[in-house]
Amino acid sequence: MNRSQHILGSGLVFAVGIWVAWVSYTQQPAEAFLFPRLIASVFVVLAGWTFGKAVMGLSKVGSGISRTMFLNMVPGLAVMLVYVFWAAKALGFYTATAIGFFILLSLYDPAPHSEGKTWLRRALITAVFVAVMYGLFAKLLSVYTPREILF
């Protein structure tokens, strides 16, 4: 089922290993790369072994990702990427958290979307959660997070 997935996964790790080894053995000053060279050598051998096994279809450990799992995960992962890499800084942590939290809740909450009560509950949970986070981080721990719009 997941032979091609294993090839892709272990191939990527092998590619990283080759890059690490190449950088370790070519960059200067050599003394600074003594320890990375040691690691890179073992890294490449193990990654090559893993990749070879995957190519020959001998990879047994790890069940890969099924189509259903992947499709289930994609919307959440997309929200997460937008939240972490753009919204948190552009909109401010608390605004982005409120929006991201509400979207995730709506995407994965098994309660029916057609009921008004469900949406109200989701909004209430989001508001309470963001208030707790604000109290915890802004007030108690005095962590100054980016605040672009609202708060």
| Residue from 27, 57, 120, 135 in contact with another protein (CB under 8 A) | 27
Task: Give Cβ neighbours of residue 52 (< 8 Å, ≥ 6 apart).
Answer: none
**What is the rounded distance in angstroms from the CA atom of residue 69 to the CA atom of residue 5?**
14
The Cα–Cα gap between 148 and 93 comes to: 8
Q: Please work out the total of residues on this chain that contact another protein, with binding judged by CB under 8 A.
A: 69
Of residues 59-88, which lie at the interface with another protein (CB under 8 A)? Answer: 59-65, 68-70, 72-73, 75-77, 80-81, 83-85, 88
**How far apart (Å, rounded) are the C-alpha atoms in residues 113 and 134?**
28
**Smallest distance from another protein to CB 150, Å:** 16
Distance CA 145, CA 134 (A): 10
Please give the C-alpha separations between residue 142 and each of 36, 45, 65, 90, 109, in angstroms, as whole numbers.
38, 47, 41, 21, 32
Site residues (CB under 8 A) for another protein, limited to 85-114? 85, 88-89, 93, 97, 100-101, 104-105, 107-110
**Which residues contribute to the site for another protein (CB under 8 A)?**
5-6, 9-10, 13, 16, 20, 23, 27-29, 31-36, 38-40, 42-43, 46-47, 49-50, 53, 59-65, 68-70, 72-73, 75-77, 80-81, 83-85, 88-89, 93, 97, 100-101, 104-105, 107-110, 125, 129, 133, 137, 141-146
